[in-house]
Structure formats: structure tokens, C-alpha cells
Amino acid sequence: MTTPDPRPGVKMSVARQFSNAAANYSHSPIHAAGADLQEMIVAAGLRGDERLLDAGCGPGHTALHFAPHVGQIVALDLSESMLEQGRRLAVDREIANVEFRQGDVEHLPFSDAEFDLVTTRYSAHHWPHPADALTEFCRVLRPSGRLLLADAITFDDYTVDTHVQAIELLRDASHVRDHTAEQWLSLLRRAGFAAEVVFTWTIHIDFASWVARIHTPPQQVAMLRTILVNAPDEVKTALRIQPDGSFTMQCALFRATPQRE
């Protein structure tokens, strides 16, 4: 178990940003649904009695999707407002095997080898120290356990990647970085996992709802429109940028297993 992070600036931004927008994320179609959720169930290879940690759970969509298929779930997030949304959704759906707890994915308050499965979905691009989080996941997983990490990924092309990072940060100050698939695989290996990509998909980003969901300030919305409209052709092609500013992001699901001597 690690000590509290002495550099909380980015994490305070994450907690503040998502506390203000928690209700929006509880019914966001991208977060509440998607083919990747069922793919995560398949990739988990469940017995039905697992103890699961959902790290960076937000309003609990992943945890609640897994709840009928496992024994017990701890859903962890920095934002108490997000956790409260999750608790409400659990009550509405009469789900009783999910415990919502406040905490930091990079400093998990759990013992070694406590979980059979760790899931994390659409959270990793907010982690200032992703290697720390992955090391923690490896620590709390049992030797036969699995990690399922699902997130947006960026492009190997530097020009496209620069635009991806710029628009993500302008839209949401708590964004840290989208990584490429190969960067995630490298991070996972260094954290002690054997890892693979098991599913890829794309998500359509409707510009208007994208900026409204996180309450992006008007001046930054204007800057985003300018960047997207004036993007070079290779960026417009890669992101499938539409006249209204809507675009497409690519995503990947990684499955990883601890490799301990």
C-alpha cells in the first residue's frame, strides 16, 4: 500500500471538474453503453464469484454492468459526486453487490492480492502517473487475476496526436494524455503485466454534447471550433471531422495478467 501523493494538483482538477459534471456522465450514452462493455465481460473469463475493483469508476457504469456476473465489486473514484451518482443508479437498478468508495487509483487503499479482476474504463487519460496506477493494479491483483483497461487511444502520427491532445485539454482541463496502443502495452509490461489488445472500436463525438457534458467555457469552445475547422487534411481524415466540429475517436480494450516470479 502506497503513501498519499504529495503532488495532488492534477488530481484536484480531476475531482473538481467531474464533481461539477457528475450528473451529465450518469446518463451520457458513450459512458453508459457501448459494445466494449460486453467485450469486457467476455474478456474477463468470469466464474461468477470474483471480487472486482473498478478503478476510476465515475458514475459506476462499468461496475453496474459487471455486477450481475461477479460476486462483489468495489467501485473507486476521486469524485464523491460521481460516487453518489453511482449509488443512485445502483439503488434504481436494485444492485446490492457494489460498494462505492472514494480513493486514488495511483495509491490504492487495499492489501496485496485482494482482487480477482481490476477494470478501468474511460479513466486512464486523466491519470498524471499511469505507471503508478498500473503498478498498484498489479499489486492488488491475485496471481491468477486480470486487468481490463479500456480507453480512448491516440495516433502514432505526430500531427494527428498533437491535435488530439490539444482538443482534449482545451475541452477538459483535467485531461492528461491519450496514449497510443503500443505505449499502453509498454507501460503494462513495465508494470509487471503480460498484455494484449483484445478489442478496438470507435466512438462518434457529437461536438455540442461533448463540450456541454463537461461545461467547457465558451471561449474554449470557440477555440476548439477554430482548431477543428482549420485542422490539416491528415487530421480531418484521421478524426473524420465534420462541419459542425463533431469527430471520431479510436479506442482499445487491453487485457493484462500479472507476471510474478
- List, for residues 151-199, the tens digit of each pLDDT value: 999 999 999 999 999 999 999 999 999 999 999 999 999 999 999 999 9
Residue whose entry in the numeric block shows the C-alpha cell 459526486? 81
How much is the pLDDT for 15? Answer: 52
- Return the higher-pLDDT residue of 82 and 28: 82
Q: Can you tell me the distance from the alpha carbon of 152 to that of 121, in angstroms, rounded to the nearest whole number?
A: 9
**In the prediction, which pLDDT does 7 show?**
43
Cell of 226: 477554430
Q: CA nearest 36: which of 259, 260, 249?
A: 249
pLDDT at residue number 124: 97
Structurally, what CATH architecture does the domain formed by 9-152+177-202+250-258 represent? 3-Layer(aba) Sandwich (3.40)
Candidates 165, 131, 162, 163; CA nearest to 149 is 131
Q: Enter the C-alpha cell of residue 4.
A: 498519499
Q: Which residues pair with 121 in a beta bridge?
A: 150
What is d(CA 57, CA 31) in angstroms, rounded to the nearest whole number? 11
Can you give the pTM of this predicted structure? 0.90
Q: What is the mean pLDDT of residues 94-114?
A: 97
Give the per-residue pLDDT at 184.
Answer: 98
Q: How many CB atoms lie within 10 A of CB 126?
A: 22
The average confidence (pLDDT) of the chain is 90
Percent of the chain exceeding pLDDT 90 equals 83
pLDDT tops 70 at residue 30: no
Strands 72-77, 51-55: pairing is parallel
Number of CB atoms found within 10 A of residue 139's CB:
18
Q: What is the pLDDT of residue 213?
A: 87
Of 113, 81, 160, nearest in space to 1 by CA: 113
DSSP letter at 128 equals: S
Q: Which residue has the higher pLDDT, 4 or 170?
A: 170
